Amino acid sequence: GIPAWITFLGVTLLLFGIVVTGKYWTFEKLTMLFCLFNFVYIPAAFWAMQTGNVKEGWLAVGKGFYAPTLVGILPMSAMITLI
């Protein structure tokens, strides 16, 4: 696929360009489109559980809400600061 940094750069430049041109309606609608696109992760989670691709199951999903782990990426204190 496309590297994440290229996607980030492209979307950022697109939204920045829309903001600079002063067309708020276009910016708002495009941002809402990006938000709606992220809802695809909800059915994807259910599908992954049904196909057996997730070993830990829903308990791991629930635990991730109250005790997220980013081993090797950020210490928990930095994570709390970001949140």
pLDDT tens-place string over residues 24-69: 787 788 888 888 988 888 888 788 777 776 677 778 777 877 877 7
Instruction: Please indicate, yes or no, whether residues 46 and 62 belong to a single structural domain of this protein.
Output: yes
More confident residue, 6 or 65: 6
- For the chain, list the strands marked E by DSSP: none
The rounded distance, in Å, linking the Cα atoms of 33 and 40 is 12
CB within 8 Å of 58: residues ≥ 6 apart: 49
CB within 8 Å of 26: residues ≥ 6 apart: 18
Tally of domains within the chain: 2
Q: Which domain holds residue 16?
A: 4-38
Instruction: Please indicate, yes or no, whether residues 32 and 52 belong to a single structural domain of this protein.
Output: no
